[in-house]
Structure 1
Amino acid sequence: MGVPAQPRYCANCATRLARDNTERHCAACRKTQRVNPMGPPSLPSAFWHTDQMRDALDTWHMGKVLYAYRTHPHHGRPLPQELVAGWLYMTQAQLSRIEKGQAPQDLSKLIHWSEVLHIPAALLWFKLPGQRRAPEPAELSVSPALSLWDIPQEDATAGVLAGGISPFPGMSMQQSGDHLLKTFLHLDGELGGDSLYLPLSRYVARMAINVRENPDDGLLEFGQLNQMAGWLALDANNHNAAKRYLTSAIQVGHEADDPGLSASALAYMSLQETYRGRLGPALSLAQTALAASPQQLTPLARTSLGTRLARAHAGLGNDNECLRILETVHEDFSQAGTRPEPYYLSYVDDIEVAAQQGACYLELGMADEAENALTTAINLIKTRAPNRIRDHVHYLSRLAKCYLLDGDVEHACQTGRDALELGQVIGSARVAERLGEFNTALEPLHRIPAVGEFKELFRLAAAGEPV
């Protein structure tokens, strides 16, 4: 009696192959492959750098990338789902579900699909096999991709990049990076991103040289400082720089095996898209961050990600989903202190939670609930964190919008004036933009004396004159 043959399985779907099948794939998979044996076409570099493709890649959702690929104008007409599905060894129905469903998380499939379609590695949010282990995050908004080690001119001064940065006396680079992060987190609330972005970006540019030469001393801190630089750039409305630094932080998080840092940077990117009115990408980024490593995220990380997800749902008008997530946010925040938390999440406190809740209520048109939440946040700042001036001004601008939404124009204008006066000592283009939005909302009411007084103060503040 002969030895039974070992069973063989399809390389694509893992179905057991028939005994007389000498191929690597089952009949069903071979049928989908035969839709176009030639496979995907060779594409010019410009194909991947159109707004359509960049927006899809920015969502970190492969289904949206596949849809943008199929419908790209370069093809002349949209490629049929059956055709692209055949290249990827899946059925048309499977591709349809991927394009319309949640962002796929299986790394092996993401790698396979990106390699089949020849998506440039520099534009992906994950690492392909064979990529160098030193972090090389890409700037998705420029072409060609920008390496982390190619310091942009805006962040450097002539001649300073011949060497790295010196650590603080008696400290390693790791300790110096940690010390600097705490310093900038403290100064952020008092000064704002307009003042702080440039000095930190220059430090990070030079620290990149140290980390490239010795990743064992300060790699994680380098990633955390990239996240801080990204946040300061976002606060200064420098969106291209913000995306670049936050992408760097995500890549370092992967490299240093710190999913919390990657998720936190994704949360900032989601907030950035919310501010820019790109709510679809904002939602996808927050969902991707929460789905990536949920068991490894600390309570404050989950709290922060939850607020970003709630903000995106609020902007999209998904009332019930937003309110449900806000309940989860409070549940996650109640667990704070049960696990060690990284210092870069120290801003996530009851002030932040109340303020984000208020922002969601305001977006949903729930003026009374928004007023209560924002008043709570402002009172907590006054009593416990008076140094957080930028947040105080920001929350006052939102509270003014609440009063306006409720029809209390006099109170709205007075609150807006308070924000303008307090805002004289900070530099935050982001918060100034919020006050500008309030000023625009008052335009139909310009005949009311209180509105005229506010608009004159706003004009003076915008011109850099004292109010």
Structure 2
Amino acid sequence: MAPWQARHCACGTRLARDNQGELCAACLRERPASAVSAPPDVPAEFWQADRMYEALQAWHMGQVFYAYRTHPWHGRPLSQETLAGWLGLTQAQLSRIENARTPPQDLGKLMSWAHGLRIPGGLLWFRLRRGPLPVQRTVERPDPPARKVLLDMIAPGGDWLPLSDDAPQHGVTGFDGMSLRATGEHLLRTFLHLDDELGGDSLYVPLTRYVARMAVSVKANPRAGLAAYGQLNQMVGWLALDANKHAHAKRYFATAVEVGHEVGDPGLVTSALGYMSLQETYRGRSQPALSLAQMAFAVTTDRLTPLARTAMGARLARAHAALGDDTCLRVLDALQAGFSQAGSDEEPSYFSYIDAVEVAAQQGACYLDLGMADEAITAVSEALALLGTQAPHRARDRVHYLSRLAKCHLLGGEVERACQVGHDALALSRTIGSARITERLSELDSALTPYGRLPYVQEFKELFRLVTAHTGV
């Protein structure tokens, strides 16, 4: 092998070994961008700049384009014409993408642009490629046009379930006299009820272990219970979300989406996407939440039941509300109209939580995010009243709604009333295990900080400290 010989730029700077070009980085930045036919190689720290990081977190390629063009590394901002030329676009097309309120969702284009700019795959919100699924396809049907877009946008990186380091070697069988499918459906109903009473913290591990073993059985024989397996994955995803295990929740929801497509269940697809939208709302990621809710509505709507449409309306309304967009109010009107049709179709078990209580509670959450204190108090109070008469066993929901009502009173300037309601929520929270609800109570505690000199605020904060001392909050 010939020895490496040092090379130098025209300015005299010694070129790095991995620099295959004729110019050093400084001269490359000074060179007119229009003279370069392709994007330059940028250092790894280029993608960690604040504006670029925020653009990638927003899941909006137009914002990524703008952050790329205006990055300080270039020395001076690149023109839209230059970047458009590198990506095979016109200046007008690039301008529309940068300024679009709704981010582009065509996976082929997203992948092409990401490759063109050499964006590291680990920073993207979609996957550049995906391996085979762990279950066999049992029904041959054309893939819906949006299917790959949905899957790749919601499942960036990582392997499919099971998640445990020690994957089980043995599957499961149905309960006495029951098929695996019937067993899965029975477990779904059981855990839905237990979740209402206990919260997700204590339920997550046992159901996770069962689903991991069920995956072995379903892989060997998909017809034995693939649909139930998908529904249980969604249930585990919800329990993980309630326990604030967000990475795991996302992967379980993604599996539910894929299984929904495999078995031809658009309700499961849209439901899991809706949960993922809600997860992003809880995490304060409003734009991804909106994108996922819009994707859920992109599923074949003429095959969705009234409760499915109601659930997706709630997810979409919450995403708009988190953005401060009064489009939320129109969505809420449509949601209420859709819910009025409930009972006209047979509904799957995984939508059994959609009832008048849930509708009122979601309306209250939206009004709260929009700053409409009076309307929020009315809606959340209605949800609590309905809960007391129709579903008194749902302890976790009662704590959740009480903490939300306290925030509504605080928004309306009723600090003492907020503390009184918050006190009730804290007292009841001892009976459940839900990291998500503890987090909501923590938000109330923080919101009360400016009023810390008031005696009833001090009393609430002391009780909060005592109740949550064992959780590490």
TM class by shorter chain equals 0.7 to 0.9
- Among 287, 297, 301, the residue aligned to 1:290: 297
Corresponding residue for residue 159 of structure 2: 147
Matched letter for residue 197 of structure 1? Y
What aligned pairs does 1:136-175 form with structure 2 within 5 A after superposition?
Answer: 145-149=157-161, 151-153=163-165, 161-175=168-182
- Cα deviation 1:346-401 (Å, max 9, x = unaligned): 11111111001111111222111111101110011111101111000100011112
Superimposed CA distance per residue, residues 129-170 of structure 1 (whole angstroms, 9 cap, x where no aligned partner): x9646569789798xx322145333xxxx6x71112222222
CA contact (8 A) 2:290 2:316 kept: yes
Determine the C-alpha separation between the residues in 2 that align with 1:195 and 1:287.
32
Contact 2:306 / 2:345 at 8 angstroms: preserved in 1?
yes
Which of the residues 241, 250, 253 maps onto 1:246? 253
Please list the CA deviations of residues 198-224 of structure 1 after superposition, one character each: whole Å capped at 9, or x if unmatched.
Answer: 111111111121222222222222221
In structure 2, the CA distance between the partners of 1:248 and 1:69, relative to structure 1 (3 Å rule), is farther
Over 3 Å counting, the alpha-carbon distance change for 1:394 and 1:250 in structure 2 is same
Of residues 323, 328, 332, the one that matches 2:329 is: 323
Distance 1:222 1:86 in 2: 47
- Given candidates 382, 390, 411, the residue that maps to 1:384 is 390
TM-score, normalised by the number of residues in structure 2 = 0.76
Task: Give the letter for the 1:290 counterpart.
Answer: F
Distance change >3 Å, CA 163–CA 366, structure 1 → 2 = same
Query: Measured at CA, do residues 378 and 197 of structure 1 come closer, stay the same or move farther in structure 2, by a change above 3 Å?
Result: same
Which one of the candidate residues 412, 415, 419 is aligned to 2:418?
412
Partner of residue 274, structure 1: 281
Structure 1 residue 334: Cα displacement: 1.4
Residue 93 (structure 1) aligns with: 92
- What is the alpha-carbon distance in structure 2 between the residues aligned to residue 82 and residue 272 of structure 1? 38
Task: Give the equivalent residue in structure 2 for 1:304.
Answer: 311
Structure 1 residue 278: Cα displacement: 1.3
Equivalent residue, structure 1, for 2:7: none
Letter of the aligned partner of 2:332 in structure 1?
A: L
Q: Of residues 327, 345, 364 in structure 2, which corresponds to 1:339? A: 345
Partner of 2:193: 186
Give 1:339 shift: 2.6
Question: How big is each residue's C-alpha offset from its partner over 1:2-47, in whole Å with a ceiling of 9 and x where there is no partner?
Answer: xxxxxxxxxxxxxxxxxxxxxxxxxxxxxxxxx9998889999999
* Letter of the structure 1 residue corresponding to residue 377 of structure 2: E
Change in 2 beyond 3 A, CA 1:112/1:139:
closer
Whether the 8 Å contact between 1:138 and 1:248 is mirrored in structure 2 is no
Do the aligned partners of 2:134 and 2:160 also contact (CA within 8 Å) in 1?
A: no
Whole-angstrom distance in 1 between the partners of 2:75 and 2:290:
30
Name which of 224, 237, 241 aligns with 1:234.
241
Contact residue 219 and residue 256 of structure 1 kept, 8 A: yes
Deviations along 1:36-59, one digit per CA (max 9) or x if unpaired, are: 998889999999999999987887
Q: For residues 459 and 406 of structure 1, do their structure 2 counterparts lie closer, same or farther at Cα, with a shift above 3 Å needed?
A: same
Q: Between Structure 1 and Structure 2, how many residues are aligned? A: 422
Amino acid at match of 1:152: S
Partner of 2:206 in structure 1?
Answer: 199
Deviations 1:226-279 (A, max 9, x none): 111111111111111111111222222233333322221121111111111111
- Structure-1 separation of matches of 2:293 and 2:71: 26
SS in 2 for 1:147: coil
Gaps (5+ residues) in structure 1?
1-34
SS in 2 for 1:166: coil
Aligned partner of 1:344: which letter?
Answer: Y
Letter in 2 for 1:195: S
Identity level (%): 58
Amino acid at match of 1:249: A
Q: Does 1:463 align with 2:463?
A: no
Contact 1:246 1:265 (8 Å CA) reproduced: yes
The one-letter code of the counterpart of 1:421 is A
Aligned-residue CA RMSD (Å): 3.8
Q: Distance in 2 between matches of 1:51 and 1:198?
A: 37
Contact preservation (8 Å) 2:281, 2:289: yes
Deviation at 1:409, TM superposition (A): 2.6
Match of 1:372? Answer: 378
